[in-house]
Amino acid sequence: MNAQGEDVVAGVRTPLSISALQNEMPEIYDQLFQAAKQLEKRYKDMQDIEFTVERNKLYLLQTRNGKRNAQAALKIAVDLVKEGLLSKHEALQRIEVSHLDQLLHRGIDEKSVKDVLAKGLPASPGAAVGQIVFDPDTAAEWGREGKKVILARSETTPEDIHGVLVCEGILTSRGGMTSHAAVVARGMGKPCVCGCEELRILPEEKRMVAGSRTITEGDWLTLDGATGRVIVGAVPLQEAEMTEELVQMLQWADEVRTLKVRANGDTPHDARVARQLGAEGIGLCRTEHMFFAPNRLPVVQQMIVADNPEERKQALHKLLPMQQSDFEAIFTEMDGLPVTIRLLDPPLHEFLPNLQDLQQRLAALTYEQDGSEAEKEELRSLIGKVQMLHETNPMLGQRGCRLGIVYPEIYDMQIEAIFRAASACIDRGVAVIPEIMVPLVGHVNELKILRELIDFVADQVLGEKRRDCPYKVGTMIEVPRAALTAGQIAGYAEFFSFGTNDLTQMTFGYSRDDAEGKFLTHYIDKKLLAHNPFQVLDTEGVGQLIELAASAGRTVRPALKTGICGEHGGDKDSIFFCHRIGLDYVSCSPYRIPLARIAAAQAYIELGNSPVQEQAFARIG
C-alpha cells in the first residue's frame, strides 16, 4: 500500500501477498478477482496482470501469458481442460517437450549451491553426487563397495563401460553433446557434463585442476547435467516424480499420436524402465554393450586374439550362454512387445587394451627386469594382435556386417543365443517378437548372405517352435549407398531402422567425435548451420536419404516397417519430420520416452496424417 513498482524493485518497500488486498480493500480485491477470471477465460491461459489502485479505483495496466516452469505448465494445461477452456489437443500443444527433462530426472536444491567449480556442456539431464575417481577400474571397485562415485575422464571410450555402469554421473573435459560419454549417459539416464575445458584432468596423478584449485580422488562433487555446472561438495538432490498431470497428459498424447515410440535399451533394467515410461518395444538393443562387462571382456578378448577359427569357437562357446541369458531377461521384460537386436557393430579393436598402455607395460617389465619371459612373450603377442587389428579409419573399416561376413562364427553365436532365448521364453509362456538387425549394410549381397545365415540358424534352433516365434530380419540404414539402393535391400529386409548417428556422419563427412570440439560450434555460431546435425536431424540432406530409402523400400515391400534409432529419436523437430514422411516409429533412450510421446502427438495435431499414412489407411479401407 502507498507504494509504486519501482519502490518494490529498489527494495525500499516489502510487498505483501495479493491476498492481503482482500482485507485492506475487499471491493477492489473482488473487482481484480473477477477481472483475472475474465482475462484468463479470454486468453485461455494463466495471466500475469499488472494493475494499480488510485483513489480507490482499480486500473488494469497490462496482461500477458504468465511465465511458468515445466510442472506448472502441465498443471495449468490440465486444469484448463477440466474447466472447459481448452481442448485436449490445445493442451498438448501448450507443452514445451524439452522442459519435460526437468520432471523426469533428479534436480539440485538451488538454495544449497555455494561453490561452482566449473561449467561445461549439459550433455545429459539430472543431478548426481559422489566421490570423484579418474579411472573406470577404481569406479567399479568403489561401486562394489557401495560408494557413490563420479567418473571424471578427459573423454570416455567403450573400454570405460564397467566404470560408467556403476557411477552416479560422468564428467569429461573434452567432447560435445554427441560424444561417447554424452550418448551413453543419456541412454542410461545418468547425468553427464561434457567438454568442461576449464578442467585439466590428470588421471595418473589422481587429481584434476581448475585454475588455482585442485580436486583429488575421493573428494565429493555434485554434477548438474541440466546446466553443465560442476559443484564442489555434496549438494542435496530433489527426486523426480511422474506427477498426476504428466500421467494425464501422456494418456491424452497416446489417444492422438500415430507414430509409435520405442526405446534404445541394452539391459533388462533399461527394458523395465522403458516399459514403465510407455515404450512400445525396444527399437535398438546394442549387443556390444553386453560384451564389456568385466566377467565377459576377457572371454571376448580371447575370441578376438584367437589364432584360428577353432580357438575362436571355443571362446564363443563360453559367450553363448551369457548372451542367451541377456536376451531371455530382455524378452521377459518386454513380454508381447517387439525387441530389435542389433548384431555386433563396433570394430574388434575397441574390445582390446590400448596399444600405448601395452607397450608401456612391456617397457616397464623389460626395464625393471621384472616378470617372467613367458609373461613378456604373451604381452608381445598381444601387442602384435592389437597392431594387426589397427585401422586408420576404424569407423569406416571392418565393423558391422563386415565382421559377420569375415568371421561368420561371431554372428552365428549371437543368432543362436537369440533363438535359444526365444525358445526358452516360449516354453515359459512369454510372447517373444524378436527383430534381428544387421548393421552397416551398404550392398544388398551383404544382407542376402547374412539373412540366409539367420534363417538357417532359426530352423536349426527353433524347429517346430518357429511358428510361435514371429521373428523379423532387417537392417540399419546408415550408409548412404544403402539408402540409394534401398529398393534392392528391401527384397531381404522386413524393416529398415535408420541409424541417424552414422548416417549423419557419412552424409556430411563429419566425424561426430571430432567435429564438435574442432569446428562445429564455430559453424553454428557463424550460422553456417542452423543446428548441430547430430542433435537435430538434417532434413534437407540426411532426411532426403531417409525419405528416399523408405519410399523405395515400400515400393518393393509395402508392409516394410520403418523407424529411426539414432540420437534424433528423442528430438522434437526430428520426430515431426519422421511423422511427416510416414515412418512407423522412433526409438530413443528410456528417459526420453515421455517427451517423444508428447512430441508425436503434437506432430499429429499440427500436421495430421502423413500422405504415406493416408495411403495405408486407404488400402486398409
Query: Where in the sequence numbering do the catalytic residues fall?
Result: 180, 565
Query: Grid coordinates standing for 469?
Result: 516365434
Q: SS3 breakdown of the chain: % helix, strand, coil, rounded to 5? A: 50, 15, 30
Provide CB contacts within 8 A for 214, sequence distance 6+.
Answer: 207, 208
What's the CA gap between 414 and 186, in Å, rounded?
A: 26
Give the span between the Cα atoms of 61 and 32, in whole angstroms. 12
The H or E element spanning position 434 is strand 433-438
Instruction: Note the maximum CA span of the chain.
Output: 100
Joined grid coordinates for residue 510 = 563429419
Question: Is the CB of residue 342 less than 8 Å from the CB of residue 287?
Answer: yes
- HSE of 327 in the Cβ direction (CA atoms, 13 Å)? 34
Written as one letter, the residue type at 402 is R
CA distance 584 to 479: 20
The pair phi, psi for residue 356, each rounded to 5°, is -65, -40
C-alpha cell at 575: 520426430
Sheet holding 121-124, edge to edge: 116-119, 229-232, 220-224, 127-133, 149-153, 169-172, 192-194, 121-124
Per the CB < 8 A criterion, the answer to whether 233 and 222 are in contact is yes
**CA 148 – CA 308 distance, rounded (Å):** 43
In whole angstroms, what is the distance from residue 403 CA to residue 401 CA?
5
Angle at 378 between CA 374 and CA 382, to 5 degrees: 170
- Residue position matching grid coordinates 557401495: 146
